[in-house]
C-alpha cells in the first residue's frame, strides 16, 4: 500500500522540471501542503489531462463515491484489471502523482511494533505514481486514488504492497497509452533499479 509519502517540490520549481518531461504541460497551481508525511485527505500535486493539455493541480488524496462508501486512497491494479468499471475509470481518469519518497511501516522481529521507513530511489530526485483522479459531482475539486501493486524484491522485505512507480524516462506516453498498454505498465518497479530504505521517526 501507500499510506504516506513525500514531495519536496513547491509548484513553481516542480513545474520547471515537468516541462522538460511533458512538453504539453502548460500550467500549474500553487497549493498549501506539508511536503513531508503527506497523508490521505490532504492535498497532493497531481498531473491531470484536460483536453489536449496537461496541468499540475492540487487534488484531494482519496476518493469517496458516496456518503456511505469508504475513502479509497489506494486502488489495486489487480482490481482495475479484473473489473470493467474500474478499468474504464482508470482509462478515462488517469493521472500521475509526483513523489520524492514514500513511507512504509515494517513490523519489527519479535515485536508488534512497526517502524516507519522512508523509501527513495537513489539518483532520481522525483518519480511518478499512476493514479485515478476524478472531478467530483457538482464540484471543481479533483479527488485521487493511487495505484498499487505487488512488491518487488526490495519492498517485499518491508511490506506486501507498493505503489506503482514510473520514472521520468518512462512517462512521455503515459497519457496516450491504450488502457491495455496502461495496465501492462503498472508493474512493480524493476529489481534492477536500486531503492533505499531509511528508518525514520514520524
Residue 1 scores a pLDDT above 70: no
Specify the number of domains making up the chain.
1
Lowest-pLDDT range of 43-47, 113-117, 158-162:
113-117
Q: How many CB atoms lie within 10 A of CB 2?
A: 24
How far is the first Cα of the chain from the last one, in angstroms, to the nearest whole number?
Answer: 17
pTM assigned to the model:
0.95
Q: What is the pLDDT of residues 51-106, one digit of tens each?
A: 889 999 999 999 998 888 899 999 999 999 999 999 999 999 999 999 999 999 98
Lowest-pLDDT range of 1-5, 18-22, 120-124, 184-188:
1-5
Of 143, 18, 149, 25, the residue nearest 93 (C-alpha): 143
Across the chain, what does the average pLDDT equal?
A: 92
Lowest-pLDDT range of 64-68, 70-74, 110-114, 154-158:
110-114
pLDDT band at 138 (very low <50, low <70, confident <90, very high): confident
Q: Residue 180: which region, alpha, beta or left (left: phi > 0; alpha: psi -120 to 50)?
A: alpha
Q: Is 161 exposed, middle or buried (0-12, 13-18, 19+ CB in 10 A)?
A: middle
Residue where the block lists cell 511494533: 113
Of 45, 36, 18, the residue nearest 142 (C-alpha): 45
* Residue 42 CB contacts under 8 Å (≥ 6 apart), including other chains: 33, 34, 60, 61
Residue 161, domain extent: 4-199
Residue 168 scores a pLDDT above 80: no
Residue 167, pLDDT score: 84
Distances in Å between the Cα of 98 and the Cα atoms of 112, 128, 147 are 32, 5, 13
Q: What CATH number does residue 101 fall under?
A: 3.90.1680.10
158/175 Cα distance (integer angstroms): 31
Q: Compute φ and ψ for 95, nearest 5 degrees.
A: -150, 180
Amino acid at each position: 500500500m501507500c499510506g504516506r509519502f513525500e514531495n519536496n517540490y513547491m509548484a513553481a520549481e516542480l513545474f520547471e522540471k515537468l516541462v522538460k518531461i511533458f512538453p504539453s504541460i502548460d500550467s500549474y497551481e500553487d497549493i498549501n501542503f506539508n511536503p513531508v508525511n503527506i497523508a490521505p485527505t490532504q492535498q497532493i500535486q497531481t498531473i491531470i489531462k484536460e483536453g489536449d493539455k496537461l496541468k499540475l493541480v492540487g487534488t484531494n488524496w482519496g476518493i469517496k463515491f458516496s456518503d456511505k462508501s469508504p475513502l479509497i486512497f489506494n486502488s489495486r491494479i489487480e482490481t482495475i484489471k479484473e473489473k470493467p468499471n474500474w478499468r474504464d475509470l482508470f482509462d478515462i481518469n488517469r493521472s500521475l502523482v509526483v513523489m520524492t519518497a514514500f513511507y512504509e511501516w515494517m513490523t519489527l522481529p519479535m515485536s508488534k511494533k512497526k517502524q516507519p521507513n522512508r523509501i527513495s530511489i537513489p539518483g532520481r530526485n522525483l518519480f511518478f505514481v499512476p493514479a485515478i483522479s476524478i472531478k467530483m459531482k457538482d464540484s471543481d475539486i479533483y479527488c485521487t486514488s493511487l495505484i498499487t501493486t505487488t512488491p518487488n524484491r526490495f519492498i517485499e522485505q518491508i511490506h506486501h504492497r507498493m505503489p506503482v512507480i514510473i520514472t521520468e524516462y518512462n512517462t512521455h506516453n503515459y497519457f496516450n497509452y491504450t488502457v491495455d498498454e496502461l495496465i501492462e505498465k503498472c508493474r512493480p518497479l524493476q529489481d534492477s533499479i536500486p531503492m533505499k530504505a531509511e528508518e525514520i521517526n514520524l
